[in-house]
Structure 1
Amino acid sequence: MADTVLDRIEAAAETFREQGPLNERAGKLTEETASALRSAQAIRMLQPKSHGGLEVHPREFADTVMRIAALDGATGWVAGVVGVHPWELAFADAKVRDEIWGEDQDTWVASPYAPMGVARPVDGGYVFNGRWQFSSGTDHCRWIFLGGLLGDAEGNPTGESLHLILPRSDYEIVDGSWDVVGLRGTGSKDVVVRDAFVPEYRTLPVSKVESGEAAREAGVTNPTYHMPFSAAFPLGITASVIGICEGGLALHAAYQSKRVTVIGDEVKNDPHAMYALSEAAAEIAASRAALLDNACRMYDLAASGRKATFAERAAGRRTQVQAAWRAVRAFNEIFARSGGNGLRMDNPMQRFWRDANNGLVHAIHTPGGVFQGAALSQLGVDPPAGPMRMMI
């Protein structure tokens, strides 16, 4: 009998594989894919036990997301992105947790966190307006986390950021807003909010989320919820990218085992092709190991009761970003050696290749500020406020 999410994912592996091209064609996860994820409880891995969650170790979460992504990139991406939102809800107001999960513990919550809206204070809460891009898996979610800037009485942004939580009735999903070259099946559409009232209890100050103060004030005890936001939030996204590369590696190996070149040579007898395959396998395995080790170190730090320093967070983010880029570079090396038939749309390898490279486009995988901030910390220099400190 399956007793972990990963066991249940393996039992449904063929469903996830078969639904991959259908997800892409639909521009979102199919109902069958979403149902399989719900049945496996994939989105409940970081959900608090008080509301039917599993509260797994972050390593188990990342490991499971990688496996899902190896079966289908879009499904893994949604599992990683939507799957991390229950982590933050664990220290949101108990009233909003009851609203979301009180009747259905399999309710999914979308995002994005980018502060593309303005929240104007009114009695009891805020009047909220804005438009956001990249709401992954949003068609299958009934609530949403949205980033916003706190406004003054006239609605002018003041600079302070909030995470606001809204029910499906308070925002519009913009159909046709996700027409892209990769990760098409994620359905990462635009959402619009027009004059929605958001009560105070459905908000979280970003400063408290990022500092860990929100988790401490909520009194949650599981160390997972005391990991830095900059370690927890990117984990599912990077895990999905590495998992996509693992899936692409498996497809390439299966293809090369039977491939014959135009001059009649079996590729498996080509030492150069086999060297490239082995090198890519080692690089992708190293990326996996680095990401999981980093998650464990951040968890252990939280379990010890010590708050991570900026330098420790920066080193962790450097590891996470580099793991994604390292895996995709390795996959690109073997995809370029897959021959012209690897480009055909009926060959799933090209879909994995597009999905992997587009996964690097996410803001959390931008290396510039992260690497510079980490390097300055290594030199004993405290980076200034701004891009070098964002998401660290």
Structure 2
Amino acid sequence: MTTTVNSDVLTERGEELRSYGQANEDLGKLNDATVDILRQSGVMKLLAPVEYGGTRAHPTEFAETVMKIASLDGAAGWVAGVVGVHPWELELMAPKLQEEIWGADDNTWVSSPYAPMGVVIPTDGGYRFTGHWQFSSGTDHAQWVILGAFIGDAEGKPLMPYESVHVVVPRADYTIVEDSWDVVGLRGTGSKDVIIKDVFVPEYRVINQADLFSGKVARDAGKTDPIHRIPFYSLFPLGLTSAVVGIAEGALHAHLDYQRDRMQVNGFKSVEDPYSMYAVSEAAGEIRASRSAVLDNISRIYDTAAAGREISLEQRAVGRRTQIQAAWRAVAAVDTILSRSGGNGLRMNNPIQRFWRDAHMGLAHAIHVPGPTYHAAVLTELGVEPPANLAAMV
């Protein structure tokens, strides 16, 4: 059954979704009701092929939808941001693979991770595949997974120089490791380990990572839509950074709701404390600025692609810096909010602390590590091409 995008679902069922935040954390994955809301909202279809019920929406619509979901429940927003990007990549791959995934059910989810924690060994018609991966967000509700791997020799050792690929595998071929997701934040994402042991993968389910990053995969597939001319590391981080910004918005909402009638120990209402109100207002401005930066950045990149112009290395690097800085800025604002919430803000039944933990967990993702990308960005602004180790996620 095809599901069209329906933003009204998040309005009509938003408070229901918010109410599942603690339940998802306790469960260690999204509950079925949360998954139902995400499916009905159509967020996973925004970047999906139109042939399978998708809309190829403008990436700002995807980002804003992820922000909205994350503001209601951080874990749900994170899963939407991660899983929602995968159809964009899969549309660049073999039509036969797309039909395998979505032919019977175009609501099928595909999880990841991309880190090369496995090895593929070339064989007749494909590869033998083995590995152990961490951080497969939403994996309990997915029927396929995209995994990063190195190409190896006959003994399973990565060939030098390293050559990375993305490998797409059906649920029957991998094992989800239960109890492998015991973390401080984003517990409801169920980002568990997955294991593969000597599985055959046909060649059409594998793509070269360098070709994907360079745009060659899209060109070879004849994909000319602006969305497919956007570099991988401009679009993939968008879901993650949008989730972090949305989580910060959720923390702000929870704090304001809590402060509205809160009495301080000195007998005055919190709203009568000008210093606290100033700090929280400044934090709110920082979160709003982070949101604007993320949306403006991806809009500029999309507009460049839509105009048929090349997205330069400088634009990519500066854009990545903007994404990273937005995430750090938003989380710093959450720290300010929490520090003005009093001791009760840290009680486990207060959603403020859950948003705070989720925000920091999201910031810890490799995509939000600032050093190399910041260095690469300023080098491009100086007209110097950054070395490969600095530009790896640009």
Q: 1:360 maps to which residue? A: 363
Deviation at 1:3, TM superposition (A): 7.9
- 5+ residue gaps, structure 1: none
Q: Give deviations 1:250-300, integer Å, cap 9, x for gaps.
A: 111111111111121111011111111110111000000000001111111
The 5 Å alignment of 1:1-392 reads 4-158=5-159, 159-386=162-389, 388-392=390-394
Report the AA paired with residue 332 of structure 2: R
> Which range is displaced more, 303-312 or 172-181?
303-312
Contact preservation (8 Å) 1:47, 1:87: yes
Q: Distance in 2 between matches of 1:303 and 1:169?
A: 39
- Using the alignment, how far apart are the partners of 1:177 and 1:68 within structure 2? 25
* Alpha-carbon distance, 1:154 to partner: 2.9
Superposed CA offset, 1:171-213 (max 9, x none):
0000000001100000000000000111000011101110111
Aligned residues: 390
Asked whether the 8 Å contact 2:5–2:45 carries over to 1, the reply is no
- Conservation of the 8 A alpha-carbon contact between 1:28 and 1:184: yes
SS of residue in 1 equivalent to 2:20: helix
**Distance of 2:218 and 2:19 partners within structure 1:** 40
- Structure 1 CA distance, aligned partners of 2:4 and 2:110? 25
Query: How far 1:4 sits from its partner (Å)?
Result: 4.6
* Structure 2 residue runs without a partner (length 5+): none
SS in 1 for 2:271: helix
3-state secondary structure, aligned to 1:201: helix
**Contact 1:280–1:333 (Cα < 8 Å) also in 2:** yes
Secondary structure (helix, strand or coil) at the match of 1:277 reads helix
1:311, distance to aligned residue in structure 2 (A): 1.1
Percentage of pairs with the same residue: 56
**Cα deviations by residue, 1:39-92 (Å, 9 ceiling, x for unpaired):** 222211110101111211100000000000000000000000000000101111
Specify the code of the residue in structure 1 equivalent to 2:250. Answer: G
Deviations, residues 309-343 of structure 1 (Å, cap 9, x unaligned) = 21111000000000000001011111111100001
Whichever residue aligns with residue 35 of structure 2, its letter is: A
> For residue 333 of structure 2, what is the amino acid of its counterpart?
A
TM-score normalised by structure 1 residue count: 0.98
Alpha-carbon contact 2:66-2:242 (below 8 Å) kept: yes
Please give the alpha-carbon distance, in whole angstroms, between the structure 1 residues aligned to 2:387 and 2:195.
Answer: 34
Letter in 1 for 2:75: A
Tell me the alpha carbon deviations over residues 220-254 of structure 1, each in whole angstroms, 9 at most, x when there is no partner.
Answer: 23211210101110000000000000010011111
Deviation at 1:107, TM superposition (A): 0.2
8 Å Cα contact 1:5/1:64 also seen in 2: no
| Secondary structure of 2:113 counterpart | coil
SS of alignment partner, residue 194 of structure 1: strand
**Which AA in structure 2 matches 1:391?**
M
Letter in 2 for 1:249: L
Distance 2:112 2:308 in 1: 29
Give me the whole-angstrom Cα distance separating, in 1, the residues matched to 2:90 and 2:6.
20
Q: How far 1:155 moved relative to its partner?
A: 2.3
* One-letter code aligned to 2:276: A
Task: Give the letter aligned to residue 43 of structure 1.
Answer: M
Alpha-carbon distance between aligned partners in 2 of 1:151 and 1:25, rounded to the nearest angstrom: 40
Q: Residues 52 and 3 of structure 1: is their aligned pair in 2 closer, same or farther, counting only changes over 3 Å?
A: closer
In the alignment, the residues of structure 1 paired with residue 17 and residue 64 of structure 2 have an alpha-carbon distance, to the nearest angstrom, of 16
